[in-house]
């Protein structure tokens, strides 16, 4: 690898002007903030003004609320960064191409950033990435390691932003998503895989396709680095076997594999003596048989024990001491949209969670069921038509046990074909099997139905993308 001064983000022209198309997105807004922190002049466009675009504007970033060729002429950028959803016929992309500007995909730009740091922790997996990345970051911050961080949700510890800029280029912690193989752009010295499940079905038609891409992801880990995994996940085991076979064929060293377990499976990091107090997990954290401390989580669910183990391993391997790890776990209250208690509505807790995949929905519902409550009213919105169609049976079986489910229509901002599938189909099948579900073409009609169903002490659990989670804010504003 070349010197720090000429690699990664430092290979761009000093003080260059960088223009982000789709700057209001969760990841793009964070990357724009990092770019500004690195000393670049930053601007960008988004068709949907939001609190995020206002925040960026308040921080001195130029924002355009349209996407027209004139914006490129006005800002006169040196480089363009765009999301995968922005197509070549977009007027700003077309103008940038006409000007022969260097255009980075979002993942390419984040890959440049990973190349800029001595130590890079990339946290991947189908579920739990944001929570695990947030936990890891807090541990390293508590230990005084001053990491730069990129996560997939606003986080109170970062002032409500999705990124944190550290004071040096020694350590980066980043959420690494497999969508469209984007994480294959990222270099790692430590790579975590929380779990492997069938998701992003528009990119990966089969589960084996997902396993294959995670095996390929491990090739981006430095030979003397670490891969942190669940000891119990059979799909991860398959991916690691494939990675070992390929490295053996190429006569290259396999990074050290560090395992985690909360179910008694032998592992390097273990959660033992697990107890739940009013739905919140407590456990002893051990590494290679050594007691590191007892954690008392403030976020519910057994899945968060696994997230905490993975985070502890990543932080410990990168210099965090046991005291800092336990202190961070005991103070962690979650990232935005990950079992976030928004407030009260007519005596009920309003909880929102990004759990749009059947497996995540099942885990979140189980977590809620262990909290003090009367009934649980589930409001659910699937994300993308492809996922809903292919995982239809999983949606039905994961939601069927709920006492009552109110469905909003499937949300997708990247598909033009609904594939003949609707949330109504899930609701109808649940009812056919003896469950109790209702479908609402207009999600705003869900609110009066909530009023009719709830009683004080219930939990209103709103699951899915930001589109449906906004109902939680509306309910709490009315309270």
Q: Tell me the whole-structure pTM to 2 decimals.
A: 0.91
Cβ neighbours for 166, distance < 8 A, ≥ 6 positions apart: 146, 147, 148, 149, 172
The residue-averaged pLDDT of 388-397 equals 96
- List pLDDT tens digits, range 7-66: 799 999 999 999 999 999 999 999 999 999 999 999 999 998 998 999 999 999 999 999
Select from 3.90.190.20, 3.40.50.150, 2.40.10.120, 3.40.50.620 the CATH code of 340-478: 3.90.190.20
Q: Which class for 263: exposed (0-12), middle (13-18), buried (19 or more C-beta within 10 A)?
A: middle
Cβ neighbours for 203, distance < 8 A, ≥ 6 positions apart: 178, 179, 180, 181, 209
Query: What's residue 1's pLDDT?
Result: 34
Tokens 């954690």 belong to: 295
Task: Determine which helix (DSSP H) or strand (DSSP E) holds 266, and give its type and residue range.
Answer: none
The CATH code of domain 4-106 reads: 3.40.50.720
Q: Which class for 455: exposed (0-12), middle (13-18), buried (19 or more C-beta within 10 A)?
A: exposed
pLDDT at 409 over 60: yes
- List pLDDT tens digits, range 227-259: 999 999 999 999 999 999 999 999 999 999 999
Query: What's residue 318's pLDDT?
Result: 98
Query: What's residue 461's pLDDT?
Result: 98
Query: What's residue 4's pLDDT?
Result: 38
Q: Which two tokens stand for residue 46?
A: 């988004």
Q: How far apart are the first and last CA of the chain?
A: 57
Q: Which two tokens stand for residue 40?
A: 């670049």
Task: Determine which helix (DSSP H) or strand (DSSP E) holds 197, and give its type and residue range.
Answer: none
- pLDDT band at residue 202, thresholds of 50, 70 and 90? confident
The residue-averaged pLDDT of 457-461 equals 96
Cβ neighbours for 237, distance < 8 A, ≥ 6 positions apart: none
For residues 99 and 314, give the distance between their C-alpha atoms in angstroms, rounded to a whole number. 43
Beta strands in 186-240 (DSSP E): 188-193, 221-230
Looking at domain 117-331, does it have CATH number 3.40.1190.10? yes
225, 239, 214, 224: which is closest to 190 by C-alpha?
225
- List pLDDT tens digits, range 159-175: 889 999 999 999 999 99
Q: Which two tokens stand for residue 277?
A: 């107090």
pLDDT at 177 over 60: yes
375, 379, 332, 333: which is closest to 356 by C-alpha?
379
For residues 200 and 179, give the distance between their C-alpha atoms in angstroms, rounded to a whole number. 6
- pLDDT band at residue 479, thresholds of 50, 70 and 90? low
Cβ neighbours for 7, distance < 8 A, ≥ 6 positions apart: 1, 115, 116
122, 213, 217, 214: which is closest to 175 by C-alpha?
122
Q: Which two tokens stand for residue 182?
A: 């984007």
How many CB atoms sit inside 10 A of residue 254's CB?
15
Q: Which two tokens stand for residue 172?
A: 């980066």
Strand partners, 81: 20, 104
How many CB atoms sit inside 10 A of residue 330's CB?
14
Query: What's residue 6's pLDDT?
Result: 61
Do 15 and 39 contact (CB within 8 A), yes or no? yes
pLDDT at 2 over 70: no
Percentage of the chain lying above the pLDDT 90 cut: 90
The three-class DSSP label of residue 334 is coil
Tokens 């022209």 belong to: 13
Q: Which two tokens stand for residue 442?
A: 């207009």
Round the CA-based radius of gyration of the chain to a whole number and report it: 22
Query: What's residue 103's pLDDT?
Result: 96
Query: What's residue 234's pLDDT?
Result: 97
- List pLDDT tens digits, range 273-321: 999 998 899 999 999 999 999 999 999 999 999 999 999 999 999 999 9
**Domain residue limits, the chain:** 4-106, 117-331, 340-478
Strand order in the sheet with 17-21: 62-64, 41-45, 17-21, 79-82, 102-105
Strand partners, 18: 42, 79
DSSP state of 233: -
């Amino acid at each position: 690898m070349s010197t720090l001064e000429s690699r990664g983000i430092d290979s761009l022209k000093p003080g260059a002007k960088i223009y982000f198309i789709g700057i209001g997105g969760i990841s793009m807004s964070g990357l724009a903030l990092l770019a500004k922190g690195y000393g670049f002049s930053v601007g960008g466009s988004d068709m949907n003004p939001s609190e995020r675009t206002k925040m960026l504007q308040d921080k001195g970033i130029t924002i355009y609320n349209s996407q027209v060729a004139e914006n490129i002429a006005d800002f006169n950028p040196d480089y363009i960064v765009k999301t995968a959803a922005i197509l070549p016929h977009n007027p700003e992309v077309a103008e940038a191409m006409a000007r022969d500007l260097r255009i980075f995909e979002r993942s390419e730009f984040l890959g440049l950033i990973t190349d800029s740091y001595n130590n890079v922790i990339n946290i991947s997996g189908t579920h739990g990435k944001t929570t695990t990345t947030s936990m890891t970051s807090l541990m390293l911050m508590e230990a005084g390691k001053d990491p730069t961080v990129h996560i997939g949700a606003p986080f109170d510890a970062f002032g409500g932003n999705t990124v944190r800029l550290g004071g040096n280029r020694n350590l980066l912690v980043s959420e690494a998503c497999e969508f469209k193989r984007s994480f294959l752009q990222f270099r790692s010295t430590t790579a975590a895989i929380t779990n492997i499940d069938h998701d992003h079905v528009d990119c990966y038609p089969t589960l084996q396709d997902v396993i294959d891409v995670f095996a390929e992801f491990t090739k981006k880990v430095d030979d003397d680095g670490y891969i942190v995994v669940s000891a119990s996940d059979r799909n991860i085991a398959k991916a690691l076997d494939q990675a070992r076979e390929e490295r053996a064929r190429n006569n290259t060293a396999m990074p050290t594999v560090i395992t985690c377990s909360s179910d008694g499976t032998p592992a390097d990091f273990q959660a033992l003596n697990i107890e739940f107090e009013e739905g919140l997990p407590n456990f002893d954290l051990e590494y290679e048989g050594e007691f590191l401390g007892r954690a008392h989580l403030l976020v519910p669910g057994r899945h968060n024990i696994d997230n905490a183990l993975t985070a502890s391993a990543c932080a410990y391997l990168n210099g965090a001491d046991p005291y800092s790890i336990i202190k961070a776990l005991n103070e962690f209250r979650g990232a935005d949209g990950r079992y976030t208690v928004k407030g009260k509505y007519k005596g009920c807790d309003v909880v929102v969670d990004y759990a749009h995949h059947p497996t995540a929905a099942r885990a979140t519902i189980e977590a809620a069921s262990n909290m003090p409550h009367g009934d649980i009213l589930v409001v659910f919105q699937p994300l993308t038509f492809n996922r809903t169609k292919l995982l239809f049976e999983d949606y039905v079986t994961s939601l069927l046990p709920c006492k009552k489910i109110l469905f909003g229509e499937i949300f997708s901002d990247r598909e033009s074909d609904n594939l003949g599938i609707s949330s109504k189909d899930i609701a109808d099948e649940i009812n056919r099997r003896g469950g109790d579900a209702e479908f609402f073409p207009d999600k705003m009609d869900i609110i009066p139905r909530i009023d009719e169903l709830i009683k004080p002490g219930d939990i209103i659990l709103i699951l899915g993308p930001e589109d449906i989670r906004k109902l939680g804010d509306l309910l709490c504003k009315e309270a």
